[in-house]
Structure 1
Amino acid sequence: MAIGSRLRQLSERITEEATQIYQLYDINFQPRWFPVFYVLSDGTRKPITQIAKEIGHSHVSVSQIVKDMVKQGYVVEKSDPKDGRKTVVELSKMGKTVTSKLSDQLLDVNAAIEKALSETDHNLWKALEEWEHLLERKPLLQRVQEQRKERERSKVQIVDYTDEYLAAFRTLNQEWITTYFEMEEADYKALDHPRAYILDKGGAIFVALYEGEPLGVCALIKMEDGQSYELAKMAVSPKAQGKSIGHLLGRAVIEKAKLLGAKRVYLESNTVLKPAINLYYKLGFEKITGHPSPYERCNIQMEIKF
């Protein structure tokens, strides 16, 4: 059963029994009022905003509780003596009377809970604190997203280019280029003749297969100085977004460059491609300037040095 359902069932059961406990001590009191009652039990006046902050409830929730407690005569609302524009809440005379009546009940409840805890192998308070801290550090949504990515990533296989992937190499690149820009002469050279333009000159091309289908490609082109390589022609199908294919291709290209003895890997892009730019930064690339580019669409250059 889901964690939320289990906790909700436990909460509902304890709340139902708490109502019976108040009746046992002849106190007409709702369990959900107690957090508000508790923070006011020291006799201080507090605005609703402060009460909500102290008990971890929403302002709307506390406002409703205070409204109900005012009707039952347990608290009163008054203008703040320091600022007449603000309203503060304090226990009424009846509320202060209930405070003394609650003392025996609280002693008995506390003793009963401590005894119940001693009969368990796992301390409920500590377990709740651990889970609260765990979810505050990383929400459940984020944890599920990470697991989803990990599962999807396991279906991705990075393989070396062969001629059977020629059509995919061209189609995937042309798809993203024409979405944002126009095809240029340098594009046609690389995409129409990848073996002659990239592989035969000492470069490499990687293909990302998702469940056997080529949905991502990336090239490593050897530059004229012989010690630098260019990360180029990275393209991922829109239907494969969110599966970490770009990151896996980028890592494969960087590792290949290291094996080839590269001193650095260089790339050109455009800042309109925000996800791609963020990916390059995550891979370790840094922005540089001053290199001539054969592409009109290039407005940012980056590199990573080894």
Structure 2
Amino acid sequence: MEFFNKTGKVAVGSRLRMLTEKITEDAAKIYEVYGIGLQPKWFPVFYVLSAGEEKTITAIAKEIGHSHPSVSKIIAEMGKKGLVAEQKDKTDGRRNMVSLTPKGKEITIKLQDQLLDVNAAIEAISAQTTHDLWKAIEEWEYLLEQQSLLSRVVEAHKKREAAKVTIVDYQPKYKAAFKALNEEWISTWFKMEATDYKSLDHPEEYILDRGGHIFVALYNDEPLGVCALVKMDDPDYDYELAKMAVSPKAQGKSIGWLLGQAIIEKAKQLGAKNIYLESNTILKPAISLYNKLGFKKVPGRPTPYERANIQMELDLRS
């Protein structure tokens, strides 16, 4: 079809839906040919019950991979046609057991010829095709169970957006952004403290001139993320990852990850043995990022920040 040639694979959902609708339409007519009063959507439930065993709606839903409400609705529709019956479980009165009625069992017998003919038709189609649709569906189902289409699209979006991000060294022209970005997130969650003002108002004096570094993330040349590598005067730690801030409008662009990678790489170039950081556990996205970067929680130690309730370390020697 010309439309799908234009859209390509991005319209896979629409194309599969059209194929499903075409097959379902034929399936309804096939039941009529054989004089069987079933609807195509009932088939999975009917097939499970055709084995003769009573089952709960929950068990049926699990076996055919449908939701409980969906199966419950189908059972109700089939019940109105006199094909299934529900009764209380003799061993557990809280559960209803579903089974085929005599009318439903009659259809089971009549259905056998239809299934043989439908299978023959499908095999004939498969013999004329280059690719095995059934195996392809199995492969797609398996791969989508491992990672959903949504997750894959989000991943591709992040990768594409991240390609637009450039990490650069601090320059005086980024001083206002360095303060504004940090002040924004700190004020949202906590309160600005004296130590914050020192490093944000005087980054050259308190960070750069003391052997530290500051990186700025540019997205379309706009500074939307910052992070500092602060030289520590501490026998246990060489540098501290501090003042990481990313604009809320830059979410989904992997800016935090890219800044963290830049900080780690710089620390390695400087011969650092480790990197220390302080944060707060209510900042779940930040803590998740630090974990992904390889930071591990360490015992608490004195801190100049009231908001800090967790300390983490990245060992660069391992």
TM over 0.5: yes
Deviations 1:64-122 (A, max 9, x none): 32333333333333343444554322222232222222222211111111111111111
Deviations 1:20-78 (A, max 9, x none): 22222233332222222211222222222222222222233323323333333333333
Gaps of 5+ in 1: none
Q: Secondary structure at the match of 2:210?
A: coil
Quote how far apart the aligned CAs of 1:19 are: 1.9
The aligned counterpart of 1:10 is 19
Tell me the amino acid that sits aligned with residue 87 of structure 1.
Answer: N
Quote how far apart the aligned CAs of 1:220 are: 0.9
Distance in 1 (CA, whole Å) between partners of 2:258 and 2:66 is: 43
1:187 matches 2:196? yes
- Which shifted more, 227-236 or 121-130? 227-236
Among 237, 252, 257, the alignment partner of 2:267 is 257
The aligned counterpart of 1:267 is 277
Tell me the amino acid that sits aligned with residue 21 of structure 2.
Answer: E
1:209 matches 2:212? no
Distance in 2 (CA, whole Å) between partners of 1:188 and 1:73 is: 76
Quote how far apart the aligned CAs of 1:161 are: 0.9
The aligned counterpart of 1:157 is 166
Among 12, 35, 41, the alignment partner of 1:26 is 35
The aligned counterpart of 1:287 is 297
Distance in 1 (CA, whole Å) between partners of 2:52 and 2:310 is: 64
1:278 matches 2:285? no
The aligned counterpart of 1:247 is 257
Quote how far apart the aligned CAs of 1:211 are: 0.6
Relative distance call for 1:41 and 1:179 in structure 2 (3 A) is: closer
Quote how far apart the aligned CAs of 1:290 are: 4.9
Q: Secondary structure at the match of 1:219?
A: strand
Tell me the amino acid that sits aligned with residue 302 of structure 1.
Answer: M
TM-score by length of 1: 0.91
Distance in 2 (CA, whole Å) between partners of 1:74 and 1:249 is: 63
Distance in 1 (CA, whole Å) between partners of 2:18 and 2:193 is: 63
Among 111, 120, 130, the alignment partner of 1:111 is 120
Distance in 1 (CA, whole Å) between partners of 2:201 and 2:95 is: 73
The aligned counterpart of 2:8 is none
Relative distance call for 1:239 and 1:69 in structure 2 (3 A) is: closer
Preserved CA contact (<8 Å) 2:300 2:310 = no
- Which shifted more, 17-26 or 253-262? 17-26
1:129 matches 2:138? yes
Deviations 1:155-186 (A, max 9, x none): 11100111121221222222223333333333
Deviations 1:121-149 (A, max 9, x none): 11111111111111111112211211121
Distance in 1 (CA, whole Å) between partners of 2:300 and 2:68 is: 55
Relative distance call for 1:157 and 1:68 in structure 2 (3 A) is: same
Distance in 2 (CA, whole Å) between partners of 1:204 and 1:20 is: 72
The aligned counterpart of 1:298 is 308
Tell me the amino acid that sits aligned with residue 297 of structure 1.
Answer: R
The aligned counterpart of 2:70 is 61
Among 227, 242, 249, the alignment partner of 1:232 is 242
Distance in 2 (CA, whole Å) between partners of 1:132 and 1:233 is: 44
Q: Secondary structure at the match of 1:201?
A: coil
Preserved CA contact (<8 Å) 2:213 2:230 = yes
- Which shifted more, 107-116 or 239-248? 239-248
Deviations 1:276-295 (A, max 9, x none): 22222221112223533233
Distance in 2 (CA, whole Å) between partners of 1:200 and 1:141 is: 46
Gaps of 5+ in 2: 5-10
Deviations 1:179-202 (A, max 9, x none): 333333332332232223222222
Count of residue pairs the alignment pairs up: 306
Distance in 2 (CA, whole Å) between partners of 1:132 and 1:28 is: 31
Distance in 2 (CA, whole Å) between partners of 1:243 and 1:42 is: 53
Relative distance call for 1:237 and 1:100 in structure 2 (3 A) is: closer
Aligned Cα root-mean-square deviation (Å): 2.1
